């Protein structure tokens, strides 16, 4: 991170550090600070970011704006988490690394796109109306993917304490396919990092959990025919909701059938829904798949208060999922859990989610109780006849999906690992 770069004020209008921080966020940060002071947890979780990624800037009303990352970095700072974690130096992804997940044509297109500008504007829209590019965007996209690779390298190195961590990056990546930028995403950061982990460290089975409110269509497509990668996406689905993909029936192709798992949910899903998905779908799948590393496309646009997502997961809910996934990672793959920021458009809320996720990892890694949080009970958001009484309405689609699992993946042992049932309480 380069502390001399002070671009937040100029690039994001009035949104300097702290201007988005709510009273709730401050009290969360101070509680975390107090918890850190009472516990010695130094360097056991890794963080990577770079303020240079704030220079990726488009239309003034665009939701994917620098204030998102600026607020995350601010709350990581005031919560003491930045100082408590191992801060990994950022780096840019190389062209060869990008080519493991993207076509040459696409990589060239992104690097050439910086010069394509709209008349009278500092940015262009060479990939469609949603996905802007300014002069710094190709470098920012190279940093965004490179930061996640740096996280993986740090966590895989024997000499470092941390085996898990988070890359706080932008632009996001999960909508970018092999040959196309899409939905604010230029390069698919997680897909490039999965390939890096496989190539560099010889991993045979890698799991990707995508909890962004939008379907991770780019990642889905990149790994659709690859049975070395279990791709799991839970997302809001509706005919008018972007990107309009991610049906339960989309289970992967040829020998990888069953290794793409899509859980479409209704608008408004919340903590209880994600809790059921974790307990009844993700845990049994992981138990069967036995991953050697788990990546998370950690978008926070399913959080309550997000202007795009319209859902009700709480920051505590994201922290709880992180704890579950860390326990799975510790059980199967020496704690290799790598979170990468995707979407999420309420700066204050996504920063609170980040604080919860990072603190949850510290808590789990060190077997310590955190400042405890209550999960808010979800209210069923719609009515589906035939939904089992114990299952929230949003999960009606997932119930159907469970039947598909038996067909394609032959999963048994519900409801998953006993140690996670304890967490689910
Ligand atoms: Zn999203």
What phi, psi does 139 have (nearest 5°)? -65, -40
Q: Is the pLDDT of residue 378 over 60?
A: no
Q: Is the pLDDT of residue 406 over 80?
A: no
Superfamily of domain 24-424: Histone deacetylase domain (3.40.800.20)
Q: Which residue has the higher pLDDT, 58 or 420?
A: 58
CB 202, CB 241: distance < 8 Å: no
For 207-217, what is each residue's pLDDT tens digit? Answer: 999 999 999 99
Q: Is the pLDDT of residue 114 over 90?
A: no
Q: Which residue has the higher pLDDT, 399 or 241?
A: 241
CA of 145 to the centre of ligand 1 (A): 17
Q: Is the dihedral of CA 327, 328, 332, 335 positive or negative?
A: negative
Q: 296: which strand partners?
A: 209, 339
Residues designated catalytic: 175
Average pLDDT of the residues in 216-231? 97
Q: In which residue are the tokens 């704030």 written? A: 54
For 284-307, what is each residue's pLDDT tens digit? Answer: 888 889 999 999 999 999 999 999
ω into 36 cis (within 30 of 0): no
CA of 161 to the centre of ligand 1 (A): 32
Which helix H or strand E contains 300, and what residues bound it? none
- Among 175, 5, 180, 51, CA closest to 109: 180
Query: Using CA atoms, how far apart are residues 95 and 100, in angstroms rounded to an integer?
Result: 9
**Looking at residue 401, what is its pLDDT?**
55
**In the chain, how long is the greatest CA-to-CA distance?**
60
Query: Using CA atoms, how far apart are residues 152 and 166, in angstroms rounded to an integer?
Result: 10
Instruction: Indicate the pairing of strand 86-87 with strand 46-48.
Output: parallel
Query: Using CA atoms, how far apart are residues 164 and 358, in angstroms rounded to an integer?
Result: 10
CA of 39 to the centre of ligand 1 (A): 34
CA of 395 to the centre of ligand 1 (A): 19
Q: Is the dihedral of CA 135, 136, 142, 145 positive or negative?
A: negative
**Looking at residue 374, what is its pLDDT?**
52
Q: Is the pLDDT of residue 84 over 90?
A: yes
Query: Using CA atoms, how far apart are residues 341 and 359, in angstroms rounded to an integer?
Result: 15
ω into 243 cis (within 30 of 0): yes
């Amino acid at each position: 991170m380069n502390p001399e770069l002070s671009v937040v004020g100029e690039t994001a209008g009035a949104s300097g550090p702290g201007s988005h921080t709510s009273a709730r966020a401050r009290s969360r940060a101070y509680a975390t600070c107090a918890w850190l002071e009472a516990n010695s947890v130094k360097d056991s979780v890794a963080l990577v970011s770079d303020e240079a990624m704030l220079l990726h800037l488009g239309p003034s009303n665009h939701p994917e704006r620098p204030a998102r990352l600026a607020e995350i970095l601010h709350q990581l700072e005031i919560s003491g988490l930045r100082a408590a974690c191992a801060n990994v130096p950022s780096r840019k992804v190389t062209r060869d690394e990008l080519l493991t997940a993207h076509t040459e044509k696409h990589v060239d297109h992104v690097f050439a796109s910086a010069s394509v500008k709209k008349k009278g504007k500092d940015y262009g829209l060479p990939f469609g109306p949603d996905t802007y590019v300014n002069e710094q965007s190709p470098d920012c996209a190279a940093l965004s993917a490179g930061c996640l690779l740096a996280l993986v390298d740090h966590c895989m190195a024997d000499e470092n304490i941390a085996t898990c961590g988070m890359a706080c990056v932008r632009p996001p990546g999960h909508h970018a396919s092999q040959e196309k930028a899409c939905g604010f995403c230029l390069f698919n950061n997680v897909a490039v990092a999965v390939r890096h982990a496989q190539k560099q460290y010889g991993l045979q089975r890698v799991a990707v959990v995508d909890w962004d409110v939008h379907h991770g269509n780019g990642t889905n497509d990149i790994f659709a025919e690859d049975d070395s990668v279990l791709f799991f996406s839970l997302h809001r689905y509706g005919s008018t909701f972007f990107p309009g993909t991610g049906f339960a029936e989309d289970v992967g192709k040829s020998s990888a059938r069953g290794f793409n798992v899509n859980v479409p949910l209704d608008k408004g899903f919340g903590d209880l829904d994600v809790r059921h998905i974790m307990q009844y779908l993700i845990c049994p799948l992981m138990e069967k798949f036995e991953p050697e590393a788990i990546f998370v496309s950690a978008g926070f646009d399913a959080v309550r208060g997000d202007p795009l997502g319209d859902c009700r997961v709480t920051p505590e809910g994201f922290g709880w999922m992180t704890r579950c996934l860390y326990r799975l990672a510790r059980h199967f793959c020496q704690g290799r859990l790598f979170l990468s920021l995707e979407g999420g458009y309420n700066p204050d809320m996504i920063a609170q989610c980040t604080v919860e996720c990072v603190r949850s990892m510290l808590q789990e890694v060190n077997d310590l109780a955190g400042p405890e949080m209550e999960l808010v009970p979800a209210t069923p958001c719609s009515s589906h006849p035939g939904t089992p009484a114990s299952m929230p309405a949003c999960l009606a689609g997932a119930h159907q999906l469970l039947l598909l699992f038996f067909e394609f993946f032959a999963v048994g042992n519900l409801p998953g690992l006993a140690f996670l049932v304890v967490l689910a309480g």
